[in-house]
Chain A
Amino acid sequence: MNPALQGLITIIVGVGGCVGYFYFSNVFIDKVLFPAKGPHAGRNINRANMIRPWLFLAPALIALGLYLAYPVVETLRQSLSERIPGGGYRFAGLDNYRQMLNDGRFWEAMRNNMVWLVVVPAASTAIGLLVAQLTDRIRWGSVAKSLIFMPMAISFVGAAVIFKLIYDTRPVEQDQIGILNALWLQFDGGIGSVLMLRALPALIFAAFAAMVGYAVWIVLRPVIRNSRSRGGPVAIVLRLLASVIGVWLMVLALISVADIFGADLTYGTPQTWLTIPFWNNFFLMVVLIWIQTGFAMVILSAALRGIPEETIEAAIVDGANPFQVFFQIKVPQIAGTIVVVWTTITLVVLKVFDIVFAMTNGQWETQVLANYMYDKLFRANDWGVGSAAAMVIMLLVSPILVWNVYNARKEMR
């Protein structure tokens, strides 16, 4: 049968079946099971109304349970069992996890994922916030926003092709058709190269370190000054933990600054960007940043619009300059939204698969967890370790899950 026809039939059967189910099950409880007439009319109406919500919910609950809740349990079980040669499975305790932890590729994937987790949400949110602020008051702002938002509609695979063209490499005697190499060959080691390739990146890293340092200071200040706002013991531990991570990030950024000045740049040679270990991760991250910035921008732009004008007017009357208005008045008021954007992009990053799969397939030390898992499941056919890797992803997601549920419940009260 033609798949298109099959699709059409499925739509009709699926939609018709759903609507029919909802309609007839309602008719059934109202007319047959608990008819709203006769001696027990009142009791029947009540009973029908007790059952009705579950009729409405049933298909969704079955689908959710079968397609999302059951797999979590099943994957957990799978990660704890191993295949018996000749068929069947048996409980294997933590063997799969031990095997995974002894695998260098797993740690490579973990390291890369951690870098992704820091860089992509930070860059997307920062650029998104910048664009949102810049376009806020200019007349063609909505056009600009819609163009920057556009990559959201492009598939990861499409984006991979787009960026592979950018990173393309030709032999040195030919014209470069990838823009990055064409630009790279413009640099010859002169003063311009030093400014663009050493001073500018160093400045960006230093600025990042400074920003993190500022954030650490804000987090630690209540503890150091022993003020009331530091919160209970749990809050203090969290603050200290956050500061340690922040200081670690700062150290990394400062080491990178030194690296940039120490790096031996081979001017005049076209580079195969995607095969340079460690840095190729960044070339992959650019793709996701390019896609996610639009999302951050849209949400943050709406949040900026929601800031009460009086607060800004008051600041201006008090003599604040535009930068002070932005950093000290606007950003604190949209801090909640920034966290939401950050966590949402974090979720996307944790699941990132298509980009790595299509561009490098984890070669040249670009492995990430989702692709590692796919490798194990479908190439090595090692379902135990693959499921263990999936559980690691689940584990990394779960703090956000708990946080979201907690917030949703708080909001409903």
Chain B
Amino acid sequence: MDNIAGSKPALTWAVHLSVLALVLLWLFPTVGLFVSSFRTADQISTSGWWKSMFPSEQNLTLRTADPDDEGAQVLRDGVYVVEGNLFGTAGSTEISVWGVSSQDISAHQAGDTITMDDGETMTVQANGDYVWTSPSELTGRGQRAFVTAVAPPVFTLNNYKFMLFDAKNVEGMSKAFFNTLTVTIPATIIPIVIAAFAAYALAWMDFPGRALLIAAVVGLLVVPLQLALIPLLKLHLNIGIGKGYLGVWLAHTGFGLPLAIYLLRNYMVGLPRDIIENAKVDGATDFQIFTKIILPLSFPALASFAIFQFLWTWNDLLVAMVFLIDATGETTVMTKHIVELLGTRGGNWEILATAAFVSIAVPLVVFFAMQKYLVRGLLAGSVK
């Protein structure tokens, strides 16, 4: 078919290139966040992340060792000398120009030796090695040096250490991460169990009103959950559940049920009738047919819905804000935590990027591992 589809080579190339362009365009935003989460605050605020793959030129303010420090200053040939490296140790950062005055930060080339007002001299090499001399004893703090340096790409895991494992960081993500997990797992499993039984009844049992119920489920599929916020919150407060995990589990269960029933019923209806009828003839009860035959056969549909519900509850903000998070904020979930960080730490991209990536990482893993089921669920779930 490919050859009759009759594309000329030029057209084929155009297709490949435009797909490539679209894919890159779609990946670019996520990659930006991913790369940013491995950069330091300084790096992020001085250059775009797309430049971080390449050596970048930076203006840095550095300082020599303090002459007062023990052993920093030595007397050599009648002059006092402080030696060392501006970066601590010589790395692969390359200094091009430097200066000692903030007025003129690119006064000297690397390797130059300059004389300052009071007879002091200063030499800075390209790799950051410096020699600072003075005829009289040096006191006070180290000499400032403004350098323009080309630094190789540097990436760090410190942001993740800070956001995930630093016990002192009150803005850390670890608590919110476990809270999200606590919300997600029961809210995924419970609706599956309830929906599976209901779907079986709607698919394979005969009773009056069945068609009406199926239509009702289809209708409820699209009811915006915004409508449910206030009435249900009031209900929860009245019956004593209040704001908390139990409330959010129940809410997610209720909101997830229509899709679950719809997906599972559509799948179960397609299972071969013979198997079920044979089992009935052999004397199996409906309960046995359901647990021994229908459930194992419906695994793909169960998996599809499980992924949907997992992604939806993991990524949810609104339901958690209304039914879960109380004034103490102890039960905050990751999405809410990130929104708060956006408000308080709007400019600190190293924190935001890391926080966002921590929350995206798990759904991405699930997505790539179970994509097959997700696609299948989408195809079955979009109301035809």
Contact, CB under 8 Å: B186 / A64? no
Do the beta carbons of B384 and A150 come within 8 Å of each other? no
Per-residue 0/1 for B199-229: is the Cβ within 8 Å of any A Cβ (1 yes, 0 no)? 0111001110011011111111111111111
> Looking at the complex, which of A49-57, A93-101, A206-214, A217-225 is the stretch in contact with chain B?
A49-57
* Cβ contact within 8 Å between B224 and A390: yes
Q: Does B170 contact A (CB under 8 A)?
A: no
State in angstroms the CA–CA spacing of A26 and B315 once bound together.
37
Contact of B230 among A66, A312, A336, A386 (CB under 8 A): A386
Q: A203 an interface residue at 8 Å Cβ cutoff?
A: no
Question: Is B287 part of the binding interface, using a Cβ–Cβ cutoff of 8 Å?
Answer: yes
Bound complex: CA A278 to CA B293 (Å) = 56
Contact across chains for B254 and A67 when beta carbons are under 8 A apart: yes
**Residue with the highest number of chain B CB atoms closer than 10 Å, among A68, A152, A351:** A68
Residues of A within 8 A of B253 (CB): 63, 67
A interface residues with partner B (beta carbon < 8 Å): 3-4, 6-7, 10-11, 14-15, 18-19, 22-23, 26, 30, 49-50, 52-54, 56-57, 59-61, 63-64, 66-72, 74-75, 78, 127, 130-131, 134-135, 137-138, 141, 144, 146-166, 168, 170, 174-179, 182, 290, 293, 295, 298-299, 302, 309, 312-313, 316, 322, 325, 336, 340-341, 343-344, 347, 350-351, 353-354, 357-358, 370, 373-374, 377-378, 383, 386-387, 390-391, 393-394, 397, 400-401, 404-405, 407-409, 411-412
What's the Cα separation between A352 and B225 when bound, in Å?
11
Report the Cα distance A302→B381, complex, angstroms. Answer: 13
**B206 partner residues in chain A, CB cutoff 8 A:** 53
The answer to whether B190 touches A61, judged by C-beta atoms less than 8 angstroms apart, is no
Give the complex CA separation of A409 and B359 in angstroms: 40
| Known pairs A15-B190, A298-B375; A179 contacts B32 (CB<8 A) | yes
Known: A148-B22, A177-B48. A404 touches B219 (CB 8 A): yes
Docked complex: B3-21 residues within 8 A CB-CB of A: 4-7, 11, 15-16, 18-20
When the two chains form the complex, which single residue of B5, B44, B207 contacts A53, counting CB atoms closer than 8 Å?
A: B207
Residue of A nearest to B46 (CB): A175
| Binding stretch for chain A, among B98-106, B117-125, B131-139, B366-374 | B366-374
Q: Which residues of A contact B182 (CB under 8 A)?
A: 3-4, 6-7
Minimum Cβ distance to chain A for residue B31 (Å):
10
Q: Which residues of B contact A163 (CB under 8 A)?
A: 29
Q: Main SS of chain B's interface residues?
A: helix
Least CB distance, A292 to chain B, in whole angstroms: 12
> Are A161's CB and B224's CB within 8 A?
no
Residues of B within 8 A of A146 (CB): 368, 371
What is the CA–CA distance of A122 and B83 in the complex, to the nearest angstrom?
66
Interface residues of B in 32-60 (CB under 8 A from A): 32-33, 36, 44-50
Q: Establish whether residues B26 and A161, one from each chain, have CB atoms under 8 Å apart when the complex forms.
A: no
- A23 touching B287 in the complex, CB below 8 Å, given contacts A10-B249, A18-B190, A153-B311: yes
Whole-angstrom distance between the alpha carbons of A340 and B222 in the complex? 13
Please name all residues of chain A whose beta carbon is closer than 8 Å to the beta carbon of B84 when the two chains form the complex: none
Partner of A7, one of B245, B349, B360: B245
Contacts of B75 in A (CB 8 A): none
Chain B positions within 8 Å of A174 at CB level: 46
In-complex Cβ contact of B229 among A6, A57, A377 (8 A): A377
| Contact assessment for A354 and B317 in the assembled complex, using a CB-CB cutoff below 8 Å | yes
8 Å CB interface, B247-277 against A: 249-251, 253-255, 257-258, 261
Q: Which residue of A lies closest to B246 (CB)?
A: A10
Q: How far is the CB of A356 from chain B (nearest CB, A)?
A: 11
Task: Identify the closest chain A residue to B6 (Cβ).
Answer: A316
State whether B220 touches A64 (Cβ < 8 A).
yes
Which segment, of B85-93, B143-151, B155-163, B334-342, faces chain A? B334-342
Contact B228 A134 (CB under 8 A): no
Smallest CB-CB separation from B202: which chain A residue?
A57
Docked pose: A162 CA to B356 CA in angstroms: 8
Q: Count A-B pairs with CB separation below 8 Å.
A: 344
A30 touches B46 (CB 8 A): no
CB proximity of A75 to chain B, nearest CB, Å: 5
Q: How far, in angstroms, from A322 to B5 measured CA to CA in the complex?
A: 7
User: With A3-B245, A165-B32, A404-B219 in contact, do A350 and B224 touch (Cβ < 8 Å)?
Assistant: yes
With an 8 Å Cβ cutoff, the count of chain B residues facing the other chain is: 119
Closest residue of chain A to B363, judged by CB?
A153
Contacts of B318 in A (CB 8 A): 353-354, 374
Residues of B close to A162: CB separation below 8 A: 29-30, 32-33, 356
Please measure, in the bound complex, the distance between the C-alpha atom of A179 and the C-alpha atom of B24, giving whole angstroms: 14
Query: Besides A153-B363, A154-B315, 15 other CB < 8 A contacts?
Result: A14-B189, A49-B205, A67-B255, A71-B229, A75-B230, A134-B22, A138-B16, A144-B22, A156-B315, A158-B360, A302-B379, A373-B226, A390-B226, A404-B221, A409-B211
Residue B193 is within 8 A (CB to CB) of chain A in the complex: yes
Residue among B11, B26, B261 making CB contact with A322, cutoff 8 Å: B11
Query: With an 8 A cutoff between CB atoms, is B178 at the interface?
Result: yes
Q: Chain A contacts of B79 at CB under 8 A?
A: none
Q: Which residues of chain A are near B213, meaning CB under 8 Å?
A: 57, 61
List, sorted by A's number, 13 A–B pairs whose CB atoms are closer than 8 Å: A14-B249, A56-B286, A60-B197, A60-B257, A64-B254, A71-B227, A149-B375, A150-B27, A151-B26, A156-B317, A165-B33, A322-B5, A358-B317
Residue from B28, B207, B331, B339 in contact with A3 in the complex, judged by beta carbons closer than 8 Å: B331
Contact status B287-A22, CB under 8 Å: yes
Nearest Cβ on chain A to B170's Cβ, whole angstroms: 18
| Nearest residue, chain A, Cβ from B269 | A412
Residue of A nearest to B317 (CB): A354
B107 contacts partner chain A, Cβ-Cβ < 8 Å? no
Contact of B314 with A by CB under 8 A: yes
Residue among B232, B331, B355 with the highest chain A CB neighbour number at 10 A: B232
- Name the distance in Å between B219's Cβ and chain A's nearest Cβ: 5
Q: Which of A18, A64, A350 has the most CB of B within 10 A?
A: A64
On chain B, the residues within 8 Å of A168 by CB distance are 349
